[in-house]
Amino acid sequence: MSTGIIYGLIAGKGDLPCRIIEHFHKCSQPFHVVAFDGQTPPETVMGSDHLWVKLGTVSPIFDYFKKSGVTHLVLAGGIKRPTLSELSLDWAGTKLLTRIGFKSLGDDGLLSAIVKVFEEQGITVVGADEILQDILVPQGQMTQKTPCDDDFKDIERGIEILKKLGEVDVGQAAVIQQGLVLGLEAIEGTSDLIERIRPYQRTGRGGLLIKMAKPHQNLKVDLPTIGPETIEKMHQSGLIGIAIESGRSQILNKEKTLALANQYGIFVYGF
């Protein structure tokens, strides 16, 4: 594959960076990876051209991408948001942090500001879905099990709540059971949310996970995502279905994810 495009990948945790790297290797697409100490699993970048940096160190990233001729950039995978004292700031990192206001921004505001900085460097930032074109969530039923009328009521309740939370740049997921809010996603992420709500579930019809992008979500980064791990966690916690926004969310390892959902009797529905 020779397009004149050279990709940079800023890789965090999870399966998405691995899938992107696998795709690049398969297509013989030139790419270079930035990985973060204590955040990116070493096996993610094994066998690929990469640079290790500490969170907050910015100049080496710009220099690495410039030297490598990177034209396009994708940000993929989770990064545990550090406290200010945990950052290893260089001068460029300090200037960036001063500019974007670290404490005053939520995740989407922070990521949008970072995207803008890279684009000012002449690098085109793209979403993971522009590389892996099969990962966007389709609309409608994806599994053998379907939502019932009561499930749709819980889905509507979850959407209403997440729209309000999204307006203040907080969370992309909620767990609703029989109209009750069992938990809302904060800084911990969806997997920990699913585990956290276990003690709060009521008897009767099980709870649902609802995920959607924030109203002002930067669609190039940090889209709501589900995958096989999500299904496993839900099964362990006794949840019976996922409703996730179509076109603005991602499903990783779709075939495996939906097969697991069918195995456990969990519905997956794109709204």
**Residue 112: pLDDT above 80?**
no
Type of residue at 235: H
**Cα–Cα dist 86/109, whole Å:** 20
Per-residue pLDDT tens over the stretch 69-104: 999 999 998 877 666 666 677 777 677 777 666 554
Share of the chain above pLDDT 70, in %: 90
The size of the chain, in residues, is 271
> Span 115-121, mean pLDDT?
85
> Span 253-263, mean pLDDT?
96
**What is the location of CATH 3.40.50.20 in the chain?**
7-130
**Residue 133: pLDDT above 90?**
no
Per-residue pLDDT tens over the stretch 214-239: 888 778 887 899 999 999 999 999 99
For 133, the enclosing helix (H) or strand (E) is none
User: Which of 26-40, 82-96, 180-194, 251-265 has the lowest average pLDDT?
Assistant: 82-96
> Span 189-203, mean pLDDT?
93
Q: The CATH number of 7-130 is which of 3.40.50.20, 3.50.50.60, 3.30.460.20, 3.40.50.300?
A: 3.40.50.20
> Span 28-56, mean pLDDT?
94
Work out the pLDDT band at 1, boundaries 50, 70, 90. very low
Distances (CA, A) of 80 to 14, 15, 42, 47, 74: 12, 15, 16, 24, 18
Type of residue at 205: R
> What is the dotted CATH code of the domain comprising 140-270?
3.40.140.80
Asked whether the beta carbons of 160 and 268 are under 8 A apart, the reply is no
**What is the location of CATH 3.40.140.80 in the chain?**
140-270
Between 214 and 152, whose confidence is greater?
A: 152
Quote the mean pLDDT of the chain. Answer: 89
**Cα–Cα dist 9/17, whole Å:** 8
- Strand pairing report for 173-177 and 180-184: antiparallel
Give residue 100's pLDDT. Answer: 66
**Cα–Cα dist 149/271, whole Å:** 14
CA angle 226, 231, 234 (to 5 degrees): 115
Between 58 and 93, whose confidence is greater?
A: 58
**Residue 50: pLDDT above 50?**
yes
